Chains A and B, each alone.
Chain A
């Protein structure tokens, strides 16, 4: 049960949402943009996070936040409020669909939104991996209106947003949508659960790009690791061992799995992905 009292606002437009945030902040209330709400509700309930939130501004009703279509410039546009289950079924960007299909369980995916997953407190934020790999464009709303930015430019362990601003849409270039890919989520034991590791990989013309979640405290995409893994002078084993040494942060060591076990799983997973993609086995992604 949530025992904290907080105000709930439902914005119908981008400007209404931004204005509401400013008004509330000015009057000393600490508002939070609210999308699917799964994280806010479940963490507030057990008093483990969001305990000081006084107000939430629901952005789900904003029309721009719910689009899922190709625009006239050949970008796939996905509104921040589109639920993961819808992305899973839509298949416009198969890597993202596959990735989203493994987040939480179906009931939760009906509620969890793309914007919510990548901006949440949860350390895994798995849906961000395909967006990082494709350096997708974020459409951000703030007091000045809308502006666009590449995700890699404002991602540093998490997406850094100014207070009062929120992501309206994600835009992915068309060329990425049909590239061979593999998304592999490994858990402690069952299909549904937090990841030991989730790896999204996409086969570019010359190289494979890799992004990781569950391995460290935050998801990441690293050019250095890509370089090492794509260095064809070395054997796959050697490349993987070298890549593991380049992991930018300490490897997670928790009840999902120890750090050394995670390394073992990562090594196997990378090997499997590289064998499949090099052998032309992308797209038929392994789950």
Chain B
């Protein structure tokens, strides 16, 4: 039996506690135990219900009329014919509800008004008795357009010459602080100024320049977005949505349609994959006005795959210029970087993604002199929102490609270059945030581990057979989670009469398994078996405590801390009730194994079930109180960004890691097979190793798919032509490489029991590592995604005229 003692500092309680990590010892301690997903059996048997699975009697169906143009004036919309179609209850257009929405800039109408800014933009909505009647009537909505010049790229938009996408940008309400350049179609310009740029240049012996870019792509969640809305005669608005942000929906519907917040009730059942794409609010507003236009009837709106890909927000595109300097012995000296993010037609999260990329632009490396300009640029592409990694995968692609180029120029081992410059406690980030033992993990340890796991010493390019070579590429990674500085989370624990517990948190189960981890945290805190805990799997704003949004890999950190606090609250109350029976002070008692016992003599105890509703004496008198646990968490220590220098403390901690990819590359055909992918993450204390491995592997697979083949193709009119899985490629099961996932365990000191989030991190270094391996293999710089063989061929062709 392996016993391990670890000191875990629970800063949240401002006290130090010691937790015995008793592995393989059965029920009492669930840290490090791979218990199965709580909801797993329901999911694999098809019993679990998702938004589109629910229907209400009398429910109507809504279908979108979308724009066939990327940029056009709406001259007129004639709904007369559509209104007369069989089964049609209402046809709504943008002018009926002239509301502008957006989390950073209120630039987006619920349905297009006056002009359309991207192909697929919702223009009208038809509500009918059945879905097919609604869809049929859509073809009778007659919209007359006048075409406008299409801005196809960030470069084109940035010139500000051909067109403005938002002529009235200056009139928009801006809930967040931004530095726009409206005449260049720039919604936000972020500047990071750290150190002395000129000094940095002066002390650099070598300088490399590189340009990288990646196109917009899709989140490709299995479940397409779906929403239902109903307005009751009392005025209560009920929305059910496949969302990562039910509480945000509640706030925003309340705000934009002037409804008391308590009258907006949002319900979210299981979500079938989200990856950031379901944190944005779009269809919920549309569903609300659709219901409103029918007198409040229940309506359902479920995206087809085609609409899900282009009408709803997508993964951001990026173009970046990097200048990276170093001394001859490989010490990084300066970084000058420009990002142009393709936010598409509307800003949504893009301004914040721009900020995040800028504030963390160096990746997990120490650079004293940093000069970064990041622009959030409007184009006539679909609008972008958060995507797994939130800017970090994009910035990693830029910086890690530059690092490999630098290593080549220095004739230095790329691994050594990274190890030499790995960031550590005591260093500062580009936003001048001071790193400490508590808020950053061990980058160097991750790199050294990956070096072994990928067998780096074998050589990064090794011949396999005639025309086939094996090549390896690496990438470091880091990520912080930029949230509002007051983002909050809560947990409520109620107890059943037998002493078992019900846990209620506002975290959405999007397939990530957080709720199982939260069960483990509570079980550990209460010293009970996980089977004694029931978890409320859906989220309902009327009964669940708010959790900011299920995004940014923060659910374990935020809700986990709230659960620990709620468990402490339950224990306090149980001890109080038990003190009547055990005739002692509550402080003399401890709770564990469903018992409340005297610390000094554990044999003297009362079962929890006897004290969940106060303590009843033999004569029937009852003392104490009913036990209900509450716990809360708010982000603290975060600061807003200084607009001039980018100085900020953007997130509570930086999770670091290293990744590697091995490919077998055919030098004749330029086709390749990804044979191996490795991740080493400093994930702190891991509650559920198999769950964590699953998350990291899933993210790696997603990253390899994104890097190797995903991306939207636009025709000359700016229309996306691959909004179907026939032509939009994702990695298939038989193309998966061997995955190796390993962890370094530097505790996050303010995480629950030292745990860190790992939901996103596995994706971050994959594009860079794949590009690095293929660039080695093909002996050319591959700086643009996706890395399809034709792209490699075209690069090689350029080089050999």
Binding site for B on A (CB under 8 A): 1-3, 46-47, 188-194, 255, 257-258, 261, 264-265, 268
Contact = CB atoms under 8 A, between A and B. Distances in A.
Contacts of A46: 306, 724
A152 B228 CA distance: 56
Interface stretch (B105-113, B548-556, B629-637, B725-733): B725-733
24 contacts: A1-B304, A3-B136, A47-B139, A188-B788, A188-B789, A188-B790, A189-B709, A189-B729, A190-B729, A190-B731, A191-B732, A191-B734, A192-B732, A193-B727, A194-B726, A194-B727, A255-B713, A255-B721, A255-B722, A258-B790, A261-B794, A264-B793, A265-B669, A268-B668
A255 B726 CA distance: 12
Contacts of A257: 790
B131 interface: yes
Which secondary structure dominates where chain A touches chain B?
A: loop
A187 B316 CA distance: 26
Contact of B131 (A1, A190, A191, A264): A1
B216 to A, nearest CB: 15
Interface in B726-747: 726-727, 729, 731-732, 734-735
Contact of B729 (A2, A188, A261): A188
B11 interface: no
Contacts of A264: 793
A189 B770 CA distance: 15
A14 B471 CA distance: 59
A3 B735 contact: no
Interface string B683-724: 000000000000000000000000011000100000001101
B705 to A, nearest CB: 10
B132 interface: yes
Interface of B: 131-132, 135-136, 139, 304, 306, 668-669, 708-709, 713, 721-722, 724, 726-727, 729, 731-732, 734-735, 788-790, 793-794
B713 to A, nearest CB: 5
B789 A189 contact: yes
A250 B349 CA distance: 44
B132 A2 contact: yes
Given A3-B135, A188-B790, A264-B793, 20 more contacts: A2-B132, A46-B306, A46-B724, A47-B139, A188-B709, A188-B729, A188-B788, A188-B789, A189-B709, A189-B729, A189-B788, A193-B729, A255-B721, A255-B722, A258-B790, A261-B790, A261-B793, A261-B794, A265-B669, A268-B669
Contacts of B304: 1
Contacts, number: 49
A265 B132 CA distance: 44
A85 B592 CA distance: 59
Contacts of A191: 732, 734-735
A265 B797 CA distance: 13
A189 B136 CA distance: 37
B673 to A, nearest CB: 11
Contacts of B729: 188-190, 193
B709 A1 contact: no
A64 B135 CA distance: 39
Contacts of A261: 790, 793-794
Contacts of A190: 709, 729, 731-732, 735
Contacts of A258: 790
A190 B139 CA distance: 36
A255 B136 CA distance: 30
A261 B790 CA distance: 7
A208 to B, nearest CB: 21
Contacts of A2: 132
A192 B709 CA distance: 13
A64 to B, nearest CB: 32
A207 to B, nearest CB: 26
Nearest to B735: A190
Q: 10 closest Cβ contacts across the A-B interface?
A: A3-B136, A255-B713, A261-B790, A3-B135, A189-B709, A3-B132, A189-B788, A1-B132, A1-B135, A268-B669
A47 B65 CA distance: 14
A233 B722 CA distance: 45
Contacts of A193: 726-727, 729
A264 B790 CA distance: 10
Nearest to A196: B790
A189 B304 CA distance: 26
B310 to A, nearest CB: 13
Nearest to B714: A255
A256 to B, nearest CB: 8
Nearest to A257: B790
Contacts of B790: 188, 257-258, 261
B430 to A, nearest CB: 35
B752 to A, nearest CB: 41
A83 B139 CA distance: 35
A264 B721 CA distance: 24
B254 to A, nearest CB: 33
B81 to A, nearest CB: 15
B130 to A, nearest CB: 9
B661 to A, nearest CB: 15
Contacts of A194: 726-727
Contacts of A188: 709, 729, 788-790
Which of A190, A264, A265 has the most chain B CB atoms closer than 10 A to its own CB?
A190
A7 B139 CA distance: 21
A1 B793 CA distance: 40
A87 to B, nearest CB: 21
A23 B233 CA distance: 55
Contacts of B793: 261, 264
A13 B20 CA distance: 76
A123 B306 CA distance: 21
A258 B131 CA distance: 39
B669 A189 contact: no
A214 B724 CA distance: 19
B129 to A, nearest CB: 14
Nearest to B63: A1
A17 B727 CA distance: 35
A179 B265 CA distance: 69
Nearest to B712: A255
Given A189-B709, A192-B732, A255 B727 contact: yes
A188 B708 CA distance: 11
A168 B788 CA distance: 41
Nearest to B137: A3
Nearest to A46: B306
Contacts of A255: 713, 721-722, 727
Contacts of B727: 193-194, 255
B103 to A, nearest CB: 32
B757 to A, nearest CB: 31
Contacts of B732: 190-192
Contacts of A268: 668-669
A24 B788 CA distance: 49
A189 B708 contact: yes
Contacts of B794: 261
A185 to B, nearest CB: 12
A258 B727 CA distance: 15
A51 to B, nearest CB: 10
Contacts of B722: 255
B302 to A, nearest CB: 10
A194 B713 CA distance: 16
A265 B790 CA distance: 9
Nearest to A105: B732
A3 B731 CA distance: 32
A237 B306 CA distance: 44
A193 B727 CA distance: 7
A190 B794 CA distance: 18
Which of B726, B790, B794 has the most chain A CB atoms closer than 10 A to its own CB?
B790
A268 B794 CA distance: 15
Nearest to B138: A3
A246 to B, nearest CB: 23
A260 to B, nearest CB: 8
A23 B8 CA distance: 82
A5 to B, nearest CB: 9
